Amino acid sequence: MNDALKPVTEDELHAHADGQLPGSEIARIEAWLAAHPDDAARVEAWRAQNEAIRTMFAPYAMTRAGDAERVAASPQQRFTGRFPVRAAATFLVFVLGAATGLALPALIGSPATATPIFEQASDAYAIYTRDVRHPVEVWAGEKDHLVAWLGKRLGEKIVAPDLSSAGFTLVGGRLVPVDGTAGALLMYEDGSGRRLTLMLGKAARKDETSFMFAANGPVETLYWKDNGLAYAVTGEVGRDVLRAVADECYRQFQS
C-alpha cells in the first residue's frame, strides 16, 4: 500500500496540529488532509484552540529543568501525553460556551466522559441528516411509538421536545449506539429544510452535570449531562440557534 494512502489515526492528526510529527510523516499527513477536508477542518480547529490556550496562559509561561528532555521524547511518548492538552482545549471551549449565558446547569464534567457524545453526535448528524429517503427509522407520525420504543431501549422515560418555538418540527428518530450502549437520535427540520439532531445516551456518571460547545468544521454541537443522561444538539446553525433549542429541550426534559 502506498504510504500516502495509509489511514491516518486521530493521534497523528492531533500530533500534526501540535507540530509534534516527525518530519518524515508530515507529507503523508498533508496528503491525507488534502483528500479529507473534514479531517483538515478538525486539525485547523484544534490549532485555533491551541493558539487560544497559548494566548490565555502566555503571562504564566515558564520553563523548568527537564523540559528539553520531554520535548525530545519519542512520538509514541508524546502521543500518550496528549490528554492534558486536550483537556485544556475542552476547558477553553466550555469557558467560551458558558459566557453565552445559556440557562443550563454550568458545572463542568470530565472531558474524558464528555467528548465521546460530541464526536458521536457530530458523526450521526453527518450520516443521517443527508439521507433523503431514510433519515429516520420511525417518522413523526408515530411519535408516541417512537418515544416509547426509544425510552424502553434506553431504560429511561424520554420525550421528543416540541421545538416549534425555535422554528423546528420533528422529522422522526432512530436507535443509535452511544458509548457502546443504546442511544436515541431525534431529527428536526425547519421550513427551509435545514436539519438538526438531538442525541440522548447514558452518562458515565449520574452525579455529573455539564454543558459545552464544540465544532467539527461547520457542524456545531452543544452537549450537556443531567440526571444520568447525556444530550447533544447538533446542526449547521449558529450557536444562538443551538442555545435556543438546547434551552427548550432542557426545559421540557425537566417538566
Instruction: State the chain's mean pLDDT as an integer.
Output: 78
Please tell me the predicted confidence (pLDDT) of residue 70.
55
Cβ proximity of 232 and 121 under 8 Å: yes
Please tell me the predicted confidence (pLDDT) of residue 67.
56
Please tell me the predicted confidence (pLDDT) of residue 102.
46
- Side-chain-facing half-sphere of 134: CA atoms under 13 Å: 1
Task: Place 74 in a pLDDT band, splitting at 50, 70 and 90.
Answer: very low
Q: How far apart are CA 173 and CA 49, in angstroms?
A: 33
Cell numbers representing residue 132 in the block = 433523503
Q: Give the pLDDT confidence of 218-235 residue by residue, as tens digits.
A: 999 999 888 889 999 999
Which domains can be identified in the chain, with CATH numbers?
Answer: 3-80 (no CATH), 92-254 (3.30.200.100)
Cβ proximity of 113 and 151 under 8 Å: no
Q: Give the pLDDT confidence of 25-46 residue by residue, as tens digits.
A: 888 999 989 998 888 888 888 7
Give residue for cell 449558529.
238
Other C-beta atoms closer than 10 Å to the C-beta of 30 total: 14
Please tell me the predicted confidence (pLDDT) of residue 141.
95
